Amino acid sequence: MVASALAGAPATAAENDARRARGEAALAKITGAEGRTVVETIRRTSPELGDWIVDFAYGDVFSRPGVSLCTRELATVAALTALGNAQPQLKVHVEGALNVGCKPDEIVEIIMQMAVYAGFPSALNGIAAAREVFEKKGVQTSAMKAATDAAQPAAAPGR
């Protein structure tokens, strides 16, 4: 049999059938409504590319154990910030990082760090993408909170 020449036994039917379900679940958990919209939009022009996102990217890759989903999302944010040519996807994964429990400050730390590895323009554009998502989701970094607090005079005591 051809398949056995290179690898072990091919995936069993049960395992194969589970890819789509695993992928859908991971996509929903990580990207929420955003990811679903992306996949549905892509499917209108290329149904298979939409399937590959679900089955391969989320069913095969993001469903693997061994690294927390927050670490996976921070690694994705790091890579997309460094590449600097995929702003829409960067925003989806900043939101994904929030969805799986990363804190806004962690996301900003990782984007800042990219100034060292990919230069300041990549880091600046990454921060701009993150800011946009934070505002849409109504979350704040420590710095954003401090600025908001500074702008609002504290209620006078005794009132």
Q: Closer to a second copy at the Cβ: 82 or 155?
A: 82
Q: Closer to a second copy at the Cβ: 29 or 155?
A: 29
Interface with a second copy includes 115 (CB under 8 A)?
yes
Annotate the chain with DSSP letters as a single string: -HHHHHSSSPPPHHHHHHHHHHHHHHHHHHHHHHHHHHHHHHHHH-HHHHHHIIIIIIIIITT-SSS-HHHHHHHHHHHHHHH-S-HHHHHHHHHHHHHTT--HHHHHHHHHHHHHHH-HHHHHHHHHHHHHHHHHHT---HHHHHHHHHHSPPPPTT-
CB of 154 to a second copy, least distance (A): 20
Interface with a second copy includes 10 (CB under 8 A)?
yes
Residues 50-109 touching a second copy, rule: CB under 8 A, are: 50-57, 60-62, 64, 66-67, 71-72, 74-86, 88-89, 105-106, 108-109
Interface with a second copy includes 40 (CB under 8 A)?
yes
